[in-house]
Structure 1
């Protein structure tokens, strides 16, 4: 296996680091992945199943989507798994990635104290709920780290035509460590936030927060993979990256794992298949 030496890259957000990346060699892929799917466990489940079937090892480093794409821009990984469409399209347009390939989705929910002092429980409009939180000055916690979750949150505030600022709006100083630590902080603070459903379900026995607003189309959270460009970074393992993408999007392989993941533990899946091949088969 051919290995290329790369500068040490510390990811304080995920408490992970890359000292060496494998490129241009069969049998190993390195992926920069957004933290939510890692915390939910689906990233490891997909990696392990792919390795078992093909013999190709996939290992990941975790960071918010913005940071994960920055890592990929340095050519230190072979593929990225992220969830912020605008940032993904910019990454591909700049030539760092070959294409944005949908893999799965879940959704964001607005959570807060079960007593819901702001009175948003059951609202059908996520933007309407955000306007009410702002109007009442209800404490709200943001990750504030340019992660996919933070980008989605800011997009919702923009759609709500609200500029979140003031004492009621707090940025968690350790938000770049991921959704799970952020949700625990929100719980301790008695505040509201926007979080992906998978993180909430994985921690629901630890927190007293309740899902207050859900089901709005604007809360969908789509997760894609982007192979890093071999044209820009010749040592990228594009062959195995293409095999991994094909496997992830295959309805009988990666998509089947996505469809069932979490069902046994939580009574419903944490993610839903979203590849073009899956949708074509299930029209």
Structure 2
């Protein structure tokens, strides 16, 4: 998960985008002029990455993408209702449940970044020197330092709750506020309070110039704990359960995102000169775990 490991492993990625197909080529695809409905997280939307990959996909196939930017929990709920063709989210346990319940198929690893703990520059809880994020959360609770939570069943919220549990700390009291909103809103509330928050690195970087918050605990991209890893997956909604979904277009989208061309769009997207997401679908040694529930192992005979 370290940046240097990614750069070493991703050196062979195609970095030049494939030229757009001619109109005659698009007609042969069988999906031209159709509309894909994508349910995805606020982090892909707020960072601007979604615009970059969507425009490249639309140009490649002559289609349009309708985006629903939601927290991971809400995006998966949209998929469960059959109101999206494909979901792009970042909470593996919730993704596995979505697939196990029959609503999603053909999951693929897509990309990763990490979570960071941000807070006021003066760091009232004194967590900046702590390398253990569970110790940092425990200290925030012990000192009753203001903390703004997503509180929206998003992937970020799920990660936050897992850290509180690992820290054996109870996030309750006047110091703990649940925003029930996306990452951008949470960062603005934390900035105004001021307060600590768990943020994905990409959204923080995209909004950093407007904030008086700094990273107090780093994630694994900068040598921090693996507990703060933030992998993203993309899943087609199951047409056997939801017969109204556009499965062909969903699979074209998944295929594009996980192709060298789509992965290059992700790799080359930057804000203020910083890379926000790191592609992980293209590898010399593919990880079969991207296709099966987390932790699954074949039965020994």
TM range (shorter): 0.7 to 0.9
Partner residue in 2 for 1:271: 277
Scaled by the length of structure 2, the TM-score of the pair is 0.80
Q: Which residue of 2 aligns with 1:18?
A: none
Query: In 1, are the aligned partners of 2:71 and 2:155 still within 8 Å (CA)?
Result: yes
Counterpart position of 2:156: 149
Cα pair 2:202 2:277 within 8 Å, conserved? yes
- CA RMSD, 1 decimal: 1.7
Deviation at residue 122 of structure 1 after TM alignment = 3.2
Q: Please say if residues 68 and 82 of structure 1, whose CA atoms lie closer than 8 Å, have aligned partners that are also in contact.
A: yes
Take 2:57 and 2:129, find their aligned partners in 1: how far apart are those partners?
Answer: 40
- The runs of 5 or more residues in structure 2 that have no matched partner are 1-29, 219-223, 287-301
1:194 matches 2:194:
no
CA-CA distance at 1:124 after TM superposition = 1.1
| Inter-partner Cα distance in structure 1 for 2:82 and 2:246 | 11
The CA deviation at 1:25 is 6.7
1:258 equivalent in alignment to 2:266: yes
Deviation at 1:44, TM superposition (A): 1.5
Name whichever of 97-106 and 31-40 sits farther off.
97-106
Could you tell me how far apart the structure 2 residues matched to 1:55 and 1:25 are?
8
Q: Which of 95, 101, 115 matches 1:108?
A: 115
Rounded Cα–Cα distance in structure 2 between residues aligned with 1:160 and 1:274: 30
Aligned residue for 1:13?
A: none
Q: Note the 1:21-170 alignment, pairs <5 A.
A: 27-170=34-177
Deviation per CA, 1:232-267, whole angstroms, max 9, x where unpaired?
0112111111111111111x21111111111xx422
Q: 2-side partners of 1:124 and 1:179: how far apart?
A: 23
Q: Separation in 2 of the partners of 1:153 and 1:32?
A: 22
- Which structure 1 residue ranges, 5 or more long, are not aligned? 1-23
Deviations 1:196-236 (A, max 9, x none): 11111111111111101002211111111110001001121
CA contact (8 A) 2:31 2:248 kept: no
- For residues 85 and 121 of structure 2, the distance between their equivalents in structure 1, rounded to whole angstroms, comes to 43
Q: CA deviation at 1:192?
A: 0.6
Residues 212-251 of structure 1: pairs in structure 2 closer than 5 A: 212-214=216-218, 215-250=224-259
Distance 1:182 1:279, change over 3 A: farther
Count of residue pairs the alignment pairs up: 252
Q: Deviations over 1:8-48 (max 9, x none)?
A: xxxxxxxxxxxxxxxx9753211111111101011121111
**Are the aligned partners of 2:109 and 2:234 in contact in 1 as well (CA < 8 Å)?**
yes
Deviation at 1:65, TM superposition (A): 0.8
Query: Which TM-score applies when normalising by structure 1?
Result: 0.85
The answer (yes or no) to whether the contact 1:249–1:278 under 8 Å persists in 2 is no
Question: Residue 121 of structure 1 aligns to a residue in which SS?
Answer: coil
2-structure distance, mates of 1:234, 1:161? 44
Distance 2:36 2:178 in 1: 34
